[in-house]
């Protein structure tokens, strides 16, 4: 394991008994042991009292195959490493040199599994003899790993057990990384190989054979783990490709079919933002997918531009057509031919409704001009109608005055004089113009009643003759009424009403002729 990985682990997990993070002094003796190269980052090399038998042992942080196997020292002839430095003072703790937490990011290595095995019992795997030599038991027998001269044997075993726990932590971390497929499998394999070669000769007390077997097992499974990692990466890449493929297909569908220009444009912008979040695709595939999306977006832009260009052209034509209707309405606005001009204005309104809109603001302005021209005409017609109504009211009053005079005639005293006065009154009555439609029938009935009263007086002075056929009288009244309706229609200038009134009058005249023929035959 590299020093970077050790630093990453130290920043994530608190020190535990039997680990390098807690190794500062022997628990009881108070004198630290001279560290191996693997402890160089954590223990001051001048503060220890124990010595190592394998100075060429590779540090656990940078595993590499060892050049040679250390030989076990003999009590009678200890090597120069057995000397205790004079500067070591019992009871003085060795300073700790912790690796800064910021040296490696927190995510550089995974946490060891929660169910990792606790620190092993050093007494099961090693011993310290009477002269302080520390031994470890392996499948090949005992091997001397160092010398402990600073305290009781249990403290010495604990010191070398912590060395073993450091190595076990490295193996556990590599196993976790291999299972989680984090990091480069080839790099993990190389580190596992280095550990498998260095652990059997490590200056540590513990199950070195089992730990080396775990390292060798990682070497054997690294290739399959690398294949799984590649498969996972390929699956992740395929999923990302599928996401961009779906976005490209959606963009192509929008480009080909959508006419919701605002919503579709907003969706294409959202696709661009989502596109930026999709990563992990090789450049060639990514560029091909982007080319599809960009082409679809450009096609949509061209289709939208063509739509609005056509819409602008259509609005221009509609604007010209409505301007022509405005001009025509303005020409008719001064006409005093109320009936025909009213019909023409209604026709202009129907034509206006048939022309498409030119846009909200422009259409409102054109409508105001068109409506203003129509208002000029209809206001003038309203004033004319008002004046005509006033004239008709005056005519009604004049006719009522004549009727009042006629109703005062007394044919019993002077029949001929009454007839002459009535004739003159009728001439004055007929000379007066139109009266309001609602009063016309009432006035006619009053005049007819006077005529009948005078005619009745004449009839009584003559020999009795057969009375006129009621059918003929009714038909004559119907003809008179039809003539009045025709006169009103002609005064209003309404072509449709004129035609209907003429047809009605012709029908009533035919019926009167038939009634008179029938009465004469009797």
Same domain, 197 and 274: no
One domain for residues 152 and 173: yes
Residue 79 shares a structural domain with residue 226: yes
Residue 160 and residue 112 share a domain: yes
Co-location of 215 and 344 in the same domain:
no
**pLDDT recorded at residue 458:** 66
**Is residue 306 domain-resident?**
yes
pLDDT of residue 464: 52
Judgement on whether residues 59 and 199 belong to the same structural domain of the protein: yes
Domain span including residue 359 = 317-366
Q: State the total domains in the chain.
A: 4
Lowest mean pLDDT among 40-49, 111-120, 168-177: 40-49
Q: How far is CA 518 from the centre of its chain?
A: 88
In a domain, 457, yes or no: no
Say if 275 falls within a structural domain. Answer: yes
Are 59 and 75 part of one and the same domain? yes
* Among 240, 344, 325, CA closest to 282: 240
d(Cα 221, Cα 118) in Å, to the nearest integer? 24
Q: Is residue 490 part of a domain?
A: yes
Last-in-domain residue among 366, 388, 406: 366
pLDDT at residue 494 in the model: 82
Which among 366, 398, 426 is the end of a domain? 366
pLDDT at 248 > cutoff 90:
yes
- Does 121 share its domain with 154? yes
* Chosen domain end from 214, 232, 250: 232
**pLDDT value of position 294:** 94
Output the CA torsion sign for 302, 303, 305, 310.
positive
- 346, with CB counted inside 10 A (0-12, 13-18, 19+), is exposed
- CA–chain centroid gap for 449, Å, is 84
Assigned domain for 435 exists: no
- pTM for this one? 0.38
Same domain for 321 and 303: no
Query: Do residues 36 and 149 share a domain?
Result: yes
In a domain, 425, yes or no: no
pLDDT in tens, 129-161: 888 899 999 988 889 988 888 778 888 888 999
Is residue 95 over pLDDT 80? no
Task: Identify any residues that bridge with 402 across adjacent strands, giving them in sequence order.
Answer: none
Residue 378 has pLDDT above 70, yes or no: yes
pLDDT, residue 247, reads: 94
Q: Is residue 128 part of a domain?
A: yes
143 and 255 assigned to the same domain: no
CA atoms within 13 A on the CB side of 395: 19
* Domain-embedded: residue 358: yes
Does 101 share its domain with 189?
A: yes
Q: Find out whether 184 and 61 touch, Cβ atoms under 8 Å.
A: no
């Amino acid at each position: 394991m590299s020093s970077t990985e050790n630093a990453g682990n130290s920043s994530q997990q608190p020190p535990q008994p039997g680990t390098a993070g807690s190794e500062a002094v022997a628990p009881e003796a108070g004198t630290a042991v001279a560290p191996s190269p693997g402890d160089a980052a954590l223990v001051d090399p001048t503060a220890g009292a124990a010595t190592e038998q394998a100075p060429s042992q590779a540090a656990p942080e940078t595993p590499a195959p060892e050049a040679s196997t250390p030989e076990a020292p003999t009590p009678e002839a200890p090597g120069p490493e057995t000397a205790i430095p004079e500067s070591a003072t019992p009871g003085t703790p060795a300073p700790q040199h912790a690796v800064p937490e910021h040296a490696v990011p927190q995510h550089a290595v995974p946490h060891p599994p929660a169910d990792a095995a606790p620190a092993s019992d050093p007494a099961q795997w090693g011993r310290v003899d009477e002269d302080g030599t520390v031994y470890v038991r392996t499948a090949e027998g005992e091997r001397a790993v160092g010398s402990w001269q600073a305290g009781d044997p249990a403290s010495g075993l604990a010191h070398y057990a912590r060395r073993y726990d450091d190595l076990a932590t490295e193996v556990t971390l590599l196993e976790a990384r291999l299972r989680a497929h984090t990091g480069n499998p080839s790099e993990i394999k190389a580190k596992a190989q280095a550990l498998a070669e260095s652990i059997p000769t490590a200056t540590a007390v513990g199950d070195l054979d089992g730990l080396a077997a775990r390292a060798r097992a990682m070497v054997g499974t690294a290739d399959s783990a690398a294949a799984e990692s590649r498969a996972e990466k390929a699956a992740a890449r395929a999923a990302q490709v599928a996401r961009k493929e779906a976005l490209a297909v959606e963009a192509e569908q929008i480009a080909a079919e959508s006419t919701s220009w605002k919503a579709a444009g907003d969706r294409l912008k959202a696709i661009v933002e989502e596109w930026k979040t999709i990563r992990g695709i090789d450049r060639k595939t990514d560029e091909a997918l982007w080319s599809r999306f960009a082409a679809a977006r450009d096609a949509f832009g061209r289709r939208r531009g063509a739509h609005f260009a056509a819409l602008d052209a259509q609005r221009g034509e509609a604007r010209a057509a409505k301007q022509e209707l405005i001009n025509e309405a303005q020409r008719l606005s001064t006409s005093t031919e109320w009936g025909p001009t009213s019909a023409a204005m209604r026709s202009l309104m129907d034509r206006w409704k048939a022309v498409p809109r030119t846009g909200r603001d422009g259409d409102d302005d054109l409508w105001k001009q068109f409506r203003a021209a129509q208002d000029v005409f209809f206001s003038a017609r309203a004033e004319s109608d008002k004046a005509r109504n006033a004239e008709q009211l005056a005519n009604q009053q004049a006719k009522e005055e004549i009727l009042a005079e006629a109703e005062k005639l007394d044919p019993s005293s002077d029949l001929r004089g009454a007839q002459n006065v009535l004739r003159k009154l009728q001439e004055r009555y007929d000379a007066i113009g139109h009266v309001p439609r609602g009063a016309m029938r009432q006035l006619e009935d009053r005049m007819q009643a006077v005529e009948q009263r005078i005619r009745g007086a004449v009839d009584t002075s003559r020999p009795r003759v057969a009375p006129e056929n009621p059918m003929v009288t009714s038909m004559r009244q119907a003809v008179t009424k039809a003539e009045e309706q025709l006169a009103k229609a002609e005064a209003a200038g309404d072509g449709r009403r004129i035609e209907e009134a003429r047809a009605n009058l012709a029908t009533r005249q035919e019926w009167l002729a038939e009634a008179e023929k029938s009465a004469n035959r009797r």
